[in-house]
Structure 1
């Protein structure tokens, strides 16, 4: 019996050590991750974001979208920030991102300030997560604690960027399926779609809806057509909701009024499973602002690199040499 007991004890010790090592390498994110190593991180991020949003309110929405497009491809790992080079193909020129996703220079500006204060400590992935939160808050949203401790990827995936990001033409089952693939529920999807409370989109993304669809308020369609002709003007901008520079629940009120800009917006309120959620948020702005932060935390937890995985990039657009 003694050898068996010794073997069991040895196996138990090895298992515990392995578990500790695994947890260390894939540790939990925490809002206090940089409390001692970069205590002024959040102040730096907020100051740069405040300057950027004051200069151009649309930038708050652009950074939020940048974070979403990062998290849905390989997880929230900063991969979208990597520039193409002669030997590296990133995600920035994928169909959903090319000539559309913006704000890279703001993240670079934050990174420069952070590096000056806390060299080689804070990941670009975490900077992006904080900047997205601050962009929402600066435009009137409710703040939330951002779990931190992500590391930066050394890879990117053009193919995943082309396949994993929901298009503005998506129907409800497609949206639910694409969010489920990232561990997010249909309710999470409807809440996160409320990010369209701020910002603008190019005419090419909503032309089909305003000219061809019937579940649309006629006056709204006419108003959007004024700056989005049937042909041409692909990059002309239209507001995502009626208050594009204020983070509020008007997005949901617009859906109830059949004034969703994208097909993928209006399908959330079109006799389907998300109607009740949309209606709730259309009449309860406090609930939306509260729940949006919780959904953002959940999205921010998609497949982060932690522990010794990945790296802390010195420059957000380039892998460390």
Structure 2
């Protein structure tokens, strides 16, 4: 049984209590819905068409774009820094612990960017491309629609150190996870709603072996359906080898953006330790209640997810930046 010190519980209570209201208001003048109305009026149509083609070819592409946007916003704000390649003068974020061997979709971003540059050179940022693409991919798999404020600039820098420290990790406990979201101005509600995107995600066996051969194995003994699911997980993720194999985080409807993922958490079947902690942690009274609410009410989940995506997308890089011609490199 996991034990928590009095200080840890106090920290968690302080963090949760801070979310009665938003941590910091986003200046609405920085991002607007009609930012490209005059200088690239077809920008969103171009992105939507390319995302639709990609998702119809492989539904997983929707999750790839959503994850890229999430990992981008958690480092320096939503500024396209996650897309930068390493160069002689810049160390990117692609080799960070939570990105290497798992963050994909860069070729799709390149393709969309080329279409945008052909239509209106030097106008649409890579950061906005990710924000819009994440929304469109979600909608194509049956998820909610939300208006995406745009006008982000692409950073001229990246931070491997911040990527390693700020992006939530699958092995981390609830207190650490809430603190990481809190540091970005995102509440516990935002966290649970945003993690709901795992309904269309997959997990590498490297990240879930400790869970399926540990906690999951213990709890599955009391639930026949969980034992069956666990046996399938073990086939995909053998105890030795197969680290790069993947398993859906929502085994019921892995290619549909719905609330089935939360049912898995209630049944103790979350494949990521960090995800299951939102329901099973001894101090997760608020997050467990949200998990149950989202399982019972898909419309509530969709509403909170949309609101939280806008809130996360409004995290900007205070250093400003540029509009990159190539998402992989800063302009020369």
**Residue 238 of structure 1: SS of its match in structure 2?**
strand
Return the alpha-carbon distance in structure 2 between the equivalents of residues 302 and 179 of structure 1: 12
**Residue 201 of structure 1: SS of its match in structure 2?**
strand
Counterpart among 268, 285, 296 of residue 278 in structure 2: 268
Return the alpha-carbon distance in structure 1 between the equivalents of residues 219 and 31 of structure 2: 42
Return the alpha-carbon distance in structure 2 between the equivalents of residues 279 and 32 of structure 1: 37
Give the TM-score of the pair, scaled to structure 2.
0.86
| Aligned residue in 2 for 1:311 | 322
Counterpart among 218, 232, 255 of residue 265 in structure 2: 255
Structure 2 counterparts to residues 162-181 of structure 1, below 5 A:
162-181=164-183
Q: Conserved in 2, the CA contact under 8 Å of 1:114 and 1:122?
A: yes
State the shift of 1:293 in Å.
0.8
Return the alpha-carbon distance in structure 1 between the equivalents of residues 76 and 28 of structure 2: 15
1:54 aligns with 2:65: no
| Aligned residue in 1 for 2:231 | 222
| Aligned residue in 2 for 1:287 | 300
Q: Deviations over 1:217-274 (max 9, x none)?
A: 3333222111100110000110011211110000111111111110011111115221
**Residue 268 of structure 1: SS of its match in structure 2?**
helix
Return the alpha-carbon distance in structure 2 between the equivalents of residues 167 and 221 of structure 1: 22
Q: Conserved in 2, the CA contact under 8 Å of 1:202 and 1:238?
A: yes
Gapped regions of structure 2 (runs ≥ 5): 1-26, 221-225
Counterpart among 210, 220, 234 of residue 243 in structure 2: 234
Q: Conserved in 2, the CA contact under 8 Å of 1:78 and 1:153?
A: yes
Counterpart among 179, 183, 187 of residue 185 in structure 2: 183
**Residue 281 of structure 1: SS of its match in structure 2?**
helix
State the shift of 1:304 in Å.
3.8
Return the alpha-carbon distance in structure 1 between the equivalents of residues 104 and 219 of structure 2: 31
Structure 2 counterparts to residues 1-321 of structure 1, below 5 A:
27-213=29-215, 214-216=218-220, 217-242=226-251, 243-270=253-280, 271=282, 272-273=284-285, 274-304=287-317, 309-321=320-332
Return the alpha-carbon distance in structure 1 between the equivalents of residues 276 and 101 of structure 2: 25
Return the alpha-carbon distance in structure 2 between the equivalents of residues 221 and 165 of structure 1: 28
Return the alpha-carbon distance in structure 2 between the equivalents of residues 26 and 262 of structure 1: 35
Give the TM-score of the pair, scaled to structure 1.
0.89
Higher Cα radius of gyration: 1
**Residue 247 of structure 2: SS of its match in structure 1?**
strand
| Aligned residue in 1 for 2:6 | none
Q: Deviations over 1:165-185 (max 9, x none)?
A: 111111111110110011101
Residues 187 and 26 (structure 1), Cα distance of their counterparts in 2 relative to 1, 3 Å cut: closer
Return the alpha-carbon distance in structure 1 between the equivalents of residues 28 and 154 of structure 2: 13
